[in-house]
Structure 1
C-alpha cells in the first residue's frame, strides 16, 4: 500500500460525524466514483484507502452491485481489481456504436491466434515448440509477434530445456479483455487438469491426440489451412536462443 500523501492527512475516512446509514452511503459513493474514474481495474488496497477501518469492503461492493442490477453495466473483479463493465447482453449494441474499446483486439484475432493465446493462458510459461506440438502444427513466429503487439502476451522466463528457449505468458491486458479476475478464472481449468494438460514436464512424451483433446476441452478448432498473409512456418526442430521476437 502506498504511503499517505500530504493531502491524505486532511481526508476523512472514518466520517464519524455522520450517521451509520449516511456514512455507508458516502463510502459507497467514494468507492464507485474511484472505480468509475479509473481507466484500469482498481485494486482492493486502493479502495480501502477511501473507507473507514470498520468498513467491510466486500459488503460495500456487494451493495453497489445490487444497486446496479438494473443498469446496463456492473462492477466486476477483473485483472486483480474492480472496474465498471457493460453487461454481455449489450455487446451487440456496443459493437454497432463503434465503441468496442478493448474488444477490438479480441475481435481482430484469427482462429489460430485465439487458440494460441488461450493455450498460453492455460500452460504458461510455455515455449513455441511445446505449443506447436500441443496444437499439432507449427506455429509461426509472426503469430507470437502479433499477439505481443496487441499486448496480450509477453516474454516469460527462459525454459530449463536444452538451449534455454524463450517462453511466453499472458499479460494483465489479457485478463482485462477476457474479463477475468485472475488466471484461476479461466473456464474448464479442472477439465484441463484432469486431461493432464497442465501437468507439463520439461521433457514431454509424444501424445498424438493431445491437440484434439485440447480443442475439445476449449471448444475451439484450429485452422487446417495457414492463415492468409502468415509467414511460412519455421522449418527447424528445437527452439534455441534465437527464438525471440
Structure 2
C-alpha cells in the first residue's frame, strides 16, 4: 500500500488504513498459497468488512510492480507471476516446454475461437481429418476439456478451453485472444486452413448451450460420437 493510498483511506474512514493494510496482508497470503489464480470475489470473502477488494488488488499490484514477482490478472483471477525480465533465470530449472505439432496448434486455435465445437466441425474448418490422438494431447495438457454432447445425430462430444489454457498463454479472459491477422502474422494458424476462415468472438462460458447435453455418467473418452479416418 502506498503512503498516498493509506492517507486517503484514513482521512475517509478514520482507522480504515489499518483495516486496509490487514486486507493487503490477507490477500497477499492467499495468493501466495494458492496454486491457481483467485478471483476478486473469492478474495473479497476473507478481507475485513467495508474493504473494496479492487482497491486492495490495485494497491498490492503497485507494491509488487518493481519486484521479482508481479501481481497479474490471469484466467479471470489474480496470481503472482515472475517478472517478465527475470523469466530467463528460471528457464534452466523449468521443464522443457510442451511442443505441439502444427496440427495440434491449429486444432487448439479452432477450439479456442469456435467453442463449443465438435471434431467434425474442427475438420470442416481445417479441411482435413483430425486424429483423436491430437485431441488427446490437448486434453492431457489441460488446455482443452470435454464440454458436453451436441444435440445432433451421433451426439458428438463438444470441446472447449480451460482456465489452464488462459493461464499458460497469459490471458485474463478468452476475448483477450488476438485477431485473425495477428495469428497469421505469428504463424500460429496457416497452412491447410480454409481460405474463408473467419474468427468469431470467442466465448468460453462453462455453461452448456441450448444445443448441448451433459456428457453423461457412462461417457468414455474413447467414444466421441464421431468416427472417420485418423489422419493428423
Instruction: Give the structure-1-normalised TM-score.
Output: 0.65
CA shift, 1:143, in A, is 0.3
Q: Could you tell me which residue of structure 2 aligns to residue 70 of structure 1?
A: 66
Change (3 A) 1:127 1:58: same
Q: How many residues align?
A: 185
CA shift, 1:72, in A, is 2.6
Contact 1:112/1:223 (CA < 8 Å) preserved in 2? no
**CA-atom RMSD, angstroms?**
2.9
Change (3 A) 1:217 1:166: farther
CA shift, 1:47, in A, is 1.1
Q: Could you tell me which residue of structure 2 aligns to residue 140 of structure 1?
A: 131
**CA deviation digits over 1:49-94, x for unaligned, max 9?**
2222221111111111111111132112222321111233333332
Q: 5+ residue gaps in structure 2?
A: 1-13, 193-222
1:80 and 2:76 equivalent? yes
Q: Could you tell me which residue of structure 2 aligns to residue 125 of structure 1?
A: 116
Q: Could you tell me which residue of structure 1 aligns to residue 143 of structure 2?
A: 152
Alignment of 1:40-189 (within 5 A): 40-96=36-92, 98-99=93-94, 104=97, 107-188=98-179
**CA deviation digits over 1:120-178, x for unaligned, max 9?**
01111111122122123222111001111122112122223433222211122212212
CA distance, structure 1, for counterparts of residue 103 and residue 66 of structure 2: 37
Q: 5+ residue gaps in structure 1?
A: 1-17, 193-212, 225-238
Contact 2:120/2:226 (CA < 8 Å) preserved in 1? no
SS in 2 for 1:158: strand
**CA deviation digits over 1:190-213, x for unaligned, max 9?**
xx5xxxxxxxxxxxxxxxxxxxx8
SS in 2 for 1:50: coil
